[in-house]
Amino acid sequence: MATATFAAGCFWGVEAAFRRLDGVIDTCVGYTGGTTPDPTYEDVCSGRTGHAEAVRITYDPQRISYEALLDTFWAIHDPTQRDRQGPDVGTQYRSAIFTHDAAQDAAARASKAQQEASGRFARPIVTEIVPAGAFYRAEEYHQRYLEKRGAATCRTP
């Protein structure tokens, strides 16, 4: 098993998109990329912790590649919006790839360059690519939020 971590706006829809992929074993929503240890949802929403709402994915690399996860990441949000997705505004909604090793870092950078060269986006991609750090699991009511409510997806770009 391997781990990947992505931030692409509200973590509810991001988690739902990744959970549908064959080869994704589990997902967990939480907070990462900030400075406050063990933040709460309210802390993160304040914009003062530096954390992003993110999804940590456990996947089977024999069934789905990291590159396929990256393809999904680019498809489910607008990576040209800085610190927002749709009506959700703040640094906690930024676009970010949190890499777990050198291979993921190289793949993420190559994938970002490929997206930039594709002409798909009219504006520059602002997605940050940074090493994964501490990940704090969000409160239980956030886990599989849309699934628990019978909703298939959140907003899309």
Positions marked active-site: 10
* Gap between the Cα atoms of 134 and 122, Å rounded: 33
Give the three-state DSSP class for 58. Answer: strand
Which residue has tokens 């090493």?
131
Write the DSSP symbol of residue 138.
Answer: P
Question: For residue 150, with 0-12 CB atoms within 10 Å meaning exposed, 13-18 middle and 19 or more buried, which class applies?
Answer: exposed
* Gap between the Cα atoms of 63 and 22, Å rounded: 7
Residues with Cβ within 8 Å of 24's Cβ and at least 6 positions away in sequence, in order, are 18, 57, 58, 59, 64, 69
